[in-house]
Structure 1
């Protein structure tokens, strides 16, 4: 999701917020194209960051009153597939700023419904909602994670498969769980709130490595998270 617009380009933190907000789908509600996919065994993405108000005074939907920093801010950006990005910039009169900001709001509402990010009555209900996501992530890690024997062979394709699963399943699943738990934070114990924040940092570090290519010693998955709100 690169954007070379100087001060009008989003920083790393903003890029991560944008990826989280999109959940891996084009934010045009009439499109909702999956931005990361598997094609012939390769992981590809068609995600592009588009400016609602143009990055320059000559661009589409330009607003000369905005500073360059404001143009590169989270609130002025939307994640689109390459086709939608081309359309909104080549025909700005057909896609005014009010429409594009509305897309962002509609996308957020849809994700709340899809993620099940609603207030629930009991801790058991919360755990029941996240348990399938936990199970899928655990199964993927067990089968494709960097600890498997094939990962030691650079020609096996194991690293590419792991990255593909990380981008298309594990990270999106993790954002779903965060959305659900944040909505039901009032049901969590003090220790569970700490575990939740540890998991949030773990997800952030996964994104930094697998999306931004930042090589660092990331935080480990907090083992207590697997039992959060279990009883």
Structure 2
């Protein structure tokens, strides 16, 4: 999600928040475009960071009273597909700031509903939501992870396939699991709180590696998470 707007550009942390908030989909509720696309044997993203109030004075929906830092803040950015980004900037009067901020809120509310990030009364109910997500991620890792034999062959395409699975499946599922756990901290036992925090750091490291291109090793997935909220 590139942006070359100087001080009005989001920093690395904001970029990760934006990616997490999008869950891999354009934040325009009238658009169903996925932000990661497979074509011609390659995987690429069409995600673009749109400024609600323009990065520069005189741009779409400009607000000269905002500082550069405020223009590059999470609250002033929406993740859109390339088509929607072009539309909102070419016709700013048709897409005012209130509409774009409304899109972001609606997208967040929709994700909260899809993610099942509600407060449950018992551990079994919360576990029922996260268990299939954990199973999905484990199955993807087993089949496509960097440990498989094909990953040793740079011409196999296995590395690109693994990155696509990470961006479109594993990272969004991780965020969903974390949202459910955060909403149900009242159900966690003492030792499980620490597991959730290790999982949070694991997610942060994975996103830094796969989204920002950080070369630092990611922390390991906490194995105890596989059994969290067991009754």
The 2-side partners of 1:116 and 1:41 are apart by: 34
The 2-side partners of 1:100 and 1:172 are apart by: 22
Task: State whether structure 2 residue 198 is matched by structure 1 residue 198.
Answer: yes
Conserved 8 A contact 1:52-1:100: yes
The 2-side partners of 1:50 and 1:56 are apart by: 12
Q: Equivalent residue for 1:73?
A: 73
Which moved further from structure 2: 32-41 or 119-128?
32-41
Offset at 1:79? 0.3
The 2-side partners of 1:229 and 1:40 are apart by: 42
The 1-side partners of 2:37 and 2:85 are apart by: 18
Map 1:112-151 → 2, pairs under 5 A: 112-151=112-151
The 1-side partners of 2:37 and 2:7 are apart by: 31
Which moved further from structure 2: 35-44 or 114-123?
35-44
Give deviations 1:74-129, integer Å, cap 9, x for gaps: 00000000000000000000000000010111001100111111111111111111
The 2-side partners of 1:32 and 1:203 are apart by: 25
Aligned length: 231
Structure 1: gaps (5+ residues): none
Q: Equivalent residue for 2:185?
A: 185
The 1-side partners of 2:125 and 2:58 are apart by: 52
Offset at 1:212? 1.1
The 1-side partners of 2:105 and 2:136 are apart by: 29
Map 1:146-225 → 2, pairs under 5 A: 146-225=146-225
Question: SS in structure 2 opposite 1:168?
Answer: helix
Offset at 1:40? 3.7
Q: Equivalent residue for 1:41?
A: 41
The 2-side partners of 1:39 and 1:195 are apart by: 38
Give deviations 1:1-58, integer Å, cap 9, x for gaps: 0101011000000000000111111000011311113224321111000000000111
The 2-side partners of 1:47 and 1:39 are apart by: 15
Root mean square deviation of aligned Cα: 0.9
Q: Equivalent residue for 1:100?
A: 100
Q: Equivalent residue for 1:23?
A: 23
Conserved 8 A contact 1:37-1:168: no
TM-score by length of 1: 0.98
TM-score by length of 2: 0.98
Offset at 1:230? 1.2
The 2-side partners of 1:31 and 1:164 are apart by: 21
Conserved 8 A contact 1:115-1:180: yes
Give deviations 1:118-162, integer Å, cap 9, x for gaps: 111111111111111111100010011111111111111111111
Offset at 1:211? 1.2
Query: Following TM superposition, where does structure 1 have runs of at least 4 consecutive aligned residues deviating by more than 4 angstroms?
Result: none
